Amino acid sequence: MDIAATPTLALACELIERRSATPDDAGCQALLAQRLAPLGFRCESSVDNGVTNLWARLGDARPLVCLAGHTDVVPTGPLTGWQSDPFTPALRDGYLYGRGAADMKGSLAAFVVAVEGFLADCPRPAGSIALLITSDEEGPSVDGTVRVVERLAGAGTTIDYCIVGEPSSDARLGDMIKNGRRGTLSGTLTVRGIQGHIAYPQLARNPIHLAAPALAELAAMHWDDGNEYFPPTSFQVSNLHAGTGAGNVIPGTLEAMFNFRYSTASTRDSLVARLTALLDRHGLDYDVAWTGHGEPFLTPRGRLVDLASETIREVTGVEPALSCSGGTSDGRFIARICPEVVEIGPVNATIHKLNERVLAADLESLAAIYRALLGRLLSPSS
């Protein structure tokens, strides 16, 4: 197969060639705007603290259907681990290789090709189409989608349906729809002891020994049962540091970085309260700095979930499962102004890995899913 043999594959390759490591967009959004503007889209680009954001809209009528995603990619890792240059798209054994092939330049290409095909069939849709694209999804996510959402909310703009192109599929294209995501809550715990000589422990207080029982209890704690859509809340320590590097010094402090991934069965306030109550019960001298937070979001079964499931069955023959597993996504920001948000995208087996890849044939099928779903949501007869 010629690497440019199909429209979605060709555009995906053009995007992969742009070295858009967070927060550098590297011209990806300009390329997308060049394809959208001739279709009548009003393309508004903004730069917030080095992050490039694109809001492109066609029409003013309701409902407004938004296709959302990101042009930034994670670092490549060691180039010696790649079979080919990660920013030179390569086709091998039916797979397209390159950084961002699955997460998520393939989806962006499928968005554009789907919109072009839908408008060729339906030049006067019964509603509006928008694309919301950022270069800050893989990074801190503080100057990307959230900034666009804030501006839209300030202007009184709401979105009726949103399809996020995150790689949601598990084993094959279409086998999973993400209809929500868990919340994330991160913090750094500092436990204070008294530094001293390791031969005179009676003159010191070892914060490692003091904190260990509390950390073990936090790791074993049952936070909630989850619910129909979400797995139970989890607590994980990601980094632990104490000591001066010397083998004969009892450290004065211990620092533990931790994270909750939580379901809608818990709240930020409930998790904070339970964690601090446990630390207090252990009699620790401590501080907690809360370093990051994202609310969970959920789209229950309804029009968008039902139509997305129907569309995937029609295009792929696969019955999609609903899931809220995995990490966070920018859907959490869009959900503030949109009641129905789902994530539909390629297989996620190689995202953030060396030799990231996607089946080339899946890109055209993905474009067909997006195109058919636009038809179900915006065709005059729908």
Q: Which residues are catalytic?
A: 72, 137
What angle do helix axes 7-16 and 28-36 make, rounded to 10 degrees? 150
Neighbours of 174 (CB within 10 A): 27
Distance in angstroms (rounded) separating the CA atoms of residues 61 and 196: 70
Residues 6+ apart with CB under 8 A from 270: none
Beta strand ranges found along 82-160 (DSSP E): 90-92, 95-97, 128-134
Residue 176 structure tokens: 């999973």
Residues 6+ apart with CB under 8 A from 38: none
> How far is CA 171 from each of CA 55, 137, 347, 353, rounded to the nearest angstrom?
32, 24, 6, 16
Q: In the structure, how many helices (H) and strands (E) does the chain have?
A: 9, 19
* Bridge partners, 336 (sequence order): none
